[in-house]
């Protein structure tokens, strides 16, 4: 108890000492007060900046650049493309040139339909030098990948919903608890009090300081949310529902319908038909060689179709583009780990790659290497045999290496 009184007295002494020192040094006291005031002002500013909503901070980060490249991951899906379109729109809105770019390929007819219906301008990049600008904004991923120089690229901003610790130099917003990246950008729009306008009524730069968003961009965000969450049934957080509800008023319902139900091109149908008629069924497994196709995306689609046939529980469909055999496997059979089965089939073939999950797998085999440079490889019918063997869980005899002499 008495211990408490001692520091009290000491503190009192100290106060008296400081006060008398300040009285005898008035100039220093003035400087001290100024320093304290500036520090307090700085701290308040920092706090304001810290508290400024993410949408405003993101917009400010974009405004600071002359031009940005909005970069998606290597195989852009609707969430990546929709987010990229919205970010590019916000950048242009604050006078910053924006180009949407992607490494890799836009695969799957849904993704291509998405790009077409929303009329998205996107360029492919193969190396850092292909970037439209020095400043890069990453969307839907937080570490650059899939092009030459990716490892050394330092993005200026990152907006993503995947786990990872990639950051942007100026702005980072990674929310792994979100089901779609589009929901994050939708939140920015809401914070910025964005208004929605019909596509035809949208005039760039004619918005008197308000953020207006054309229906095309809004529709892209909604479809991004729907496609990343299986129509809000898988991995959706409250943010996806909130964002959908907020964006609803600005959606082009017609465009949304067209993206969700793209017309299947004739070849995809033909390849599916071929996969079914030419299938080799050894119940409960099936293998189908669809021969040469101009669009290899039709192969996984055919595999998804074939595995639904009665009596079939695991299936591999393969075809080629003239140089490379593309294999796609599906399994609804717990005994068949499709990724491992395909891996095993290609194990001793040079330059081949294959893998995947238990229910879904894929692989590519260079035809020349499969047949063997010295004619000591395997042909297509032997590949089919191997596929059945692997699905059946048996060991595969490697191709006998034959001496060239």
Residue 54 or 280 with smaller CB distance to Mn ion: 54
From residue 405, alpha-carbon distances to 211, 373, 399, 402 in Å are 74, 13, 17, 8
User: How near is the Cβ of 213 to Mn ion at its closest, in Å?
Assistant: 20
Distance, in Å, from the CA atom of 227 to the CA atom of 180, rounded to the nearest integer, reads: 9
Q: Between 8 and 165, whose beta carbon lies closer to Mn ion?
A: 165
How far are the Cα atoms of 74, 193, 322, 353, 383 from residue 378, in angstroms, in the given order?
32, 63, 17, 16, 7
Give the nearest distance from C-beta 312 to Mn ion in angstroms: 32
Judged by beta carbon, residue 238 or residue 401, the one nearer Mn ion is 238
Residue number, 225 or 303, with CB nearest to Mn ion: 225
Contact 298, 271 (CB under 8 A): yes
Q: Residue 332: which residues within 8 A CB-CB, separation 6 or more?
A: 307, 313, 314, 359
- What distance in Å separates the CA atoms of residue 153 and residue 171, rounded to the nearest whole number? 15
Q: What are the angstrom distances between the C-alpha of 146 and each of 71, 124, 181, 351?
A: 11, 11, 19, 19
Stretch that binds Mn ion, among 94-102, 134-142, 261-269, 278-286 (CB under 5 A): 134-142
Closer CB to Mn ion, 140 or 344, in the complex: 140
Which one, 228 or 252, has the nearer CB to Mn ion?
Answer: 228
State the DSSP string of 58-112.
HHHHHHT-SEEEEE--SS--HHHHHHHHHHHHHHHHTT-EEEEEESS---SHHHH
- Distance between CA atoms of residues 54 and 58, nearest Å: 6
User: Least distance from C-beta 149 to Mn ion, angstroms?
Assistant: 24
Q: Which is nearer to Mn ion, 228 or 343 (CB)?
A: 228
Sign of the torsion formed by the C-alpha atoms of 336, 340, 343 and 345: negative
**Site for Mn ion (CB under 5 A): which residue of 65, 140, 187, 320?**
140
CA atoms of 293 and 325, how far apart (whole Å): 10
- Shortest Cβ distance from residue 48 to Mn ion (Å)? 31
173 phi, psi to nearest 5 deg: -140, 95
Cis? peptide before 277, omega within 30° of 0: no
Task: State the minimum distance, in angstroms, from the CB of residue 176 to Mn ion.
Answer: 11
Chain position carrying tokens 């990948």: 145
Q: Does 184 bind Mn ion (CB under 5 A)?
A: no
When asked if residue 228 is in the footprint of Mn ion (CB under 5 A), the reply is yes
Restricting to residues 46-85, which ones interact with Mn ion according to CB under 5 A? 79
Contacts of 113 (CB under 8 A, 6+ apart): 258, 259, 262
Q: Does 240 bind Mn ion (CB under 5 A)?
A: no
- The CB-nearest residue to Mn ion is 79
Nearer to Mn ion, 225 or 336 (CB): 225
Q: Helix or strand or coil: residue 293?
A: coil
For the record, the structure tokens of 63 come out as 């405004």
Of the residues 157, 181, 186, 259, which one makes contact with Mn ion according to CB under 5 A: 181
Contact between 287 and Mn ion per CB under 5 A:
no
Of 65 and 140, CB closest to Mn ion: 140
Q: With respect to Mn ion, which residue has the nearer C-beta, 79 or 252? A: 79
Alpha-carbon distances, residue 279 vs 284, 370, 378, 383 (angstroms): 12, 21, 20, 14
Q: How near is the Cβ of 386 to Mn ion at its closest, in Å?
A: 36
CB of 74 to Mn ion, least distance (A): 13
Provide, rounded to whole angstroms, the least separation between the CB of residue 184 and Mn ion.
10
Cβ 256 to Mn ion, closest distance in Å? 18
Nearest partner of 117 among 249, 14, 229, 252, judged by Cα: 252
End-to-end Cα separation, the chain, in angstroms: 101
Closest CB 217 distance from Mn ion, rounded Å: 17
Size of the residue set binding Mn ion (CB under 5 A): 4
Chain residues binding Mn ion by CB under 5 A are 79, 140, 181, 228
């Amino acid at each position: 108890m008495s211990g408490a009184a001692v520091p009290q007295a000491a503190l009192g002494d100290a106060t008296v000492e400081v006060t008398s020192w300040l009285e005898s040094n008035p100039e220093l006291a003035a400087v001290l007060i100024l320093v304290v005031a500036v520090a307090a002002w700085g701290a308040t500013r920092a706090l304001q900046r810290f508290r400024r909503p993410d949408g405003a901070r993101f917009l400010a980060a974009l405004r600071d650049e002359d031009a940005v490249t909005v970069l998606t991951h290597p195989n852009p899906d609707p969430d990546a493309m929709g987010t990229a379109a919205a970010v590019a729109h916000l950048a242009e809105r604050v006078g910053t040139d924006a180009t949407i770019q992607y490494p890799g390929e836009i695969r799957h007819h849904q993704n291509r339909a998405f790009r077409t219906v929303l009329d998205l301008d996107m360029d492919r990049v193969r190396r850092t030098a292909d970037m439209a600008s020095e400043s890069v904004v990453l969307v839907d991923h937080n570490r650059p990948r899939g092009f030459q120089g990716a490892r050394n690229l330092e993005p200026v901003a990152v907006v993503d919903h995947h786990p990872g610790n990639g950051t942007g130099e100026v702005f980072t917003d990674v929310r792994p608890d979100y089901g779609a990246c589009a929901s994050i950008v939708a939140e920015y729009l809401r914070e910025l009090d964005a208004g929605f306008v019909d596509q035809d009524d949208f005039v760039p730069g004619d918005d008197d300081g308000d953020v207006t968003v054309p229906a095309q961009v809004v529709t892209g965000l909604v479809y991004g949310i729907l496609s990343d969450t299986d129509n809000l049934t898988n991995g959706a957080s409250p943010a996806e529902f909130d964002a959908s509800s907020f964006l609803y008023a600005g959606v082009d319902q017609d465009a949304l319908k067209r993206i969700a139900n793209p017309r299947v091109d004739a070849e995809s149908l033909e390849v599916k038909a071929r996969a079914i008629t030419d299938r080799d069924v050894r119940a409960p497994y099936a293998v189908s060689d669809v021969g040469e196709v101009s669009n290899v995306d039709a192969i996984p689609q055919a595999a998804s179709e074939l595995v639904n046939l009665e009596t079939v529980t695991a299936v591999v469909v393969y075809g080629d583009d003239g140089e490379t055999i593309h294999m796609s496997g599906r399994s609804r059979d717990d005994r068949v780990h499709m990724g491992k089965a395909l891996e095993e089939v290609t194990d001793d073939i040079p330059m081949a790659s294959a893998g995947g999950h238990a229910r879904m797998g894929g692989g590519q085999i260079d035809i020349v290497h499969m047949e063997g440079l010295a004619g000591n490889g395997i042909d297509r019918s032997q590949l089919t045999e191997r596929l059945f063997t692997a699905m059946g869980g048996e060991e595969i005899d490697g191709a006998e290496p034959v001496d060239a002499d």
